[in-house]
A and B are shown apart, each in its own frame.
Chain A
Amino acid sequence: MLDVKAGDDSSFDFLLQKYRSPLVNFLYRMVRDTATAEDLAQEVFLRVYRARKQYTPSAKFTTWLFRIATNLALNSVRDTRYQKLSVSIDASTDGEESPPLELPARELRIDQKMIERDRTNLIRKAIWALPEKQRAAVLLHKYEEMDYAEIAKVLECSESALKSLLFRAYETLRGQLAPLVGEALVRETKEGRAL
């Protein structure tokens, strides 16, 4: 980032290549919509570019990047929340866009593909059902593998508050995904990898 600050455009390209996928995935898991996630990711990069001259390496670059992304995502979620309320609760998709098509390995049979897709949708919906701040905490902890100090800075809370937030979020997910968790434990026991 310091190179970008110095006016090196190739370094900005490097940041774009390195962080576009984590950002788009984080934002997609936050806002539930691929087009919105990409728009927000573009906005994050644009803000990084605009703020390059004022950048000071007081915190890790990823902390700064995901702080911008989280704020944009939370604003977007809050802006669209009322639009979602107008969608009928009987709608089968709950007003969400269908998840992007992921191409499974060719050797998987159709029934296996369907099972895998169902599992994926179940996990997605359980994460989406979390309150926004808990969702962001889980995504940064589980998928971005940030440490507690970084996540606390991104979410502007204390580390102890973050640990409570994460505990509550994982407790909820444990209940929501109980069938999958149960299966996984049975599998682990069979494989002799229990705790």
Chain B
Amino acid sequence: MNCNDVSKGLIAYLDRRSNSAERQEIEQHLTACMDCRTRAEQFRALWGVMDELPMIDPSFGFDARVRQRVAAEPQRRWLGWIVPQPRLAVSAALLAVLAVWMVKTSPVNTPIETTTASVQQEDFNAIQNLDVLENYDVVTNMDALSELAPVGAPNGGINSQKAGTAATAE
């Protein structure tokens, strides 16, 4: 152990807080090194000198002033539990603001949604009539209907078709 090592452990040695191995090493060094031994003696004497510093007493009324300030502290109200948990309070506030913002900015029932709803209704009706559509006779008999002109077309309608057919035959 050299002088530098001793200087690191000297305070603990003088405090009697160093472990036995350190203590032995420091004592060996102090026996051999006059400078470190002198320093150790002077440190110990210094601590004795520092003990001369007298204590001062707190002034009369110190306790009363502390109690007065403590009494002036605001008492906790029913919402007081929030105060010691500011993170919780801030998180709750942010959550509330976010909820309000989401409600305000969310779209109301748009026409697209209405269209989607009506398409869904048509699909439902088709499924309801699936038995009819799968019936081959019904579908075959309805083939004649496909020859009908669309409603509102000129010379449209069943009667005009029949008249047309008769004229061709003549």
Interface residues of A (CB under 8 A from B): 12-13, 16-17, 20-21, 24-25, 28-29, 34, 38, 41-42, 45-46, 49-50, 53-54, 100, 102, 116, 119-120, 123-124, 127, 141-143, 147-148, 160, 163-164, 166-167, 170, 173-174, 177, 180-181, 184-185, 188, 194-195
Q: Provide the bound-state CA to CA distance between A120 and B50, in Å.
A: 9
Within 8 A of A (CB), among B55-92: 55-59, 62-63, 65-67, 69-70, 73, 84
Contact between chains at B49 and A184 (CB < 8 Å): yes
Q: Which of A24, A143, A173, A181 has its CB near the most chain B CB atoms (within 10 A)? A: A181
Chain A residues whose CB sits within 8 angstroms of the CB of B55 once the complex forms:
21, 25
Contact between chains at A16 and B63 (CB < 8 Å): yes
Contact between chains at B45 and A188 (CB < 8 Å): yes
Given A180-B49, A181-B49, 19 additional A-B pairs, CB 8 A = A20-B66, A24-B58, A24-B62, A25-B55, A29-B53, A42-B62, A42-B65, A45-B70, A46-B69, A102-B56, A116-B52, A119-B49, A127-B53, A148-B12, A170-B46, A177-B46, A184-B48, A188-B48, A194-B41
Closest to A23 in B: B58
User: Could you name 16 residue pairs across A and B whose Cβ atoms are closer than 8 Å?
Assistant: A16-B66, A24-B57, A24-B62, A38-B62, A46-B66, A120-B54, A123-B52, A124-B53, A127-B50, A170-B43, A173-B46, A174-B46, A181-B46, A188-B48, A195-B40, A195-B44
B45 CB to nearest A CB, Å: 4
Chain B residues whose CB sits within 8 angstroms of the CB of A102 once the complex forms:
54, 56
Closest to B49 in A: A180
B8 at the interface (CB under 8 A from A): yes
B37 CB to nearest A CB, Å: 7
B10 at the interface (CB under 8 A from A): yes
Number of residues on chain B facing chain A (CB within 8 A): 37
Interface residues of B (CB under 8 A from A): 7-12, 17, 37, 39-50, 52-59, 62-63, 65-67, 69-70, 73, 84
Q: Is the interface of B mostly helix, strand, loop or mixed?
A: helix
Chain B residues whose CB sits within 8 angstroms of the CB of A46 once the complex forms:
66, 69-70, 73
Contact between chains at B59 and A38 (CB < 8 Å): yes
Q: Provide the bound-state CA to CA distance between A195 and B54, in Å.
A: 25
Contact between chains at A123 and B53 (CB < 8 Å): yes
Contact between chains at B8 and A38 (CB < 8 Å): no
Closest to B59 in A: A38
Contact between chains at A167 and B62 (CB < 8 Å): no
A148 CB to nearest B CB, Å: 7
Chain B residues whose CB sits within 8 angstroms of the CB of A166 once the complex forms:
11
Q: Provide the bound-state CA to CA distance between A164 and B42, in Å.
A: 17
Contact between chains at B45 and A184 (CB < 8 Å): yes
Closest to A54 in B: B84
Chain B residues whose CB sits within 8 angstroms of the CB of A194 once the complex forms:
41
A106 CB to nearest B CB, Å: 16
Chain A residues whose CB sits within 8 angstroms of the CB of B50 once the complex forms:
123, 127, 142, 173
Q: Provide the bound-state CA to CA distance between A17 and B58, in Å.
A: 11
B129 CB to nearest A CB, Å: 71
Chain B residues whose CB sits within 8 angstroms of the CB of A29 once the complex forms:
53
Contact between chains at B49 and A123 (CB < 8 Å): yes
